[in-house]
Amino acid sequence: MAEHQANDCIFCKIINREAPAAIIHEDEQIIVFADAFPSSQGHSLVVTKAHGRDIHETSEEDLQAVAVMAKRISQAQKTALSPDGIMIAQFNGAAAGQTVFHYHTHVVPRWEGEKLTIHGRKQAAPEELEAMAAKLRAVL
């Protein structure tokens, strides 16, 4: 497992099991978990294990691993949830909408008529997040 130096980084805390998360997938380079503040049902985050603030501090190997897993997660969402579309988004810097400064990609199922947002306003219940993670793990 990679070294995680950012003591105040919530994603590093999740990786180090110092903070809870509904984990969908994990391997040597990345971890995938349900967004605690989902903008829609199934909103997932694909996160590098190595701490880099943004795309500019992240290795090309980790970027590739995130991209491949984002595709796999979107396919799992399509199978498990039957959304009308899937949004894949990645932000670099506060001005671009980044709120957690550890490289990650959002994979967000979307349904017709749903307000288009990326960051949810309300924290989901842990049991709801775990149920969704289990549903996605089952088809991943």
Active-site annotation holds for 104? yes
What tokens does 75 get? 């396919």
> Which candidate in 4, 25, 51, 104 is catalytic?
104
Q: How far apart are CA 52 and CA 42, in angstroms?
A: 25
Count how many residues are written for the chain: 140
DSSP 52-116: -SSGGGS-HHHHHHHHHHHHHHHHHHHHHH--SEEEEE---SGGGT--S-S-EEEEEEE-TTS--
Active-site amino acid positions: 104
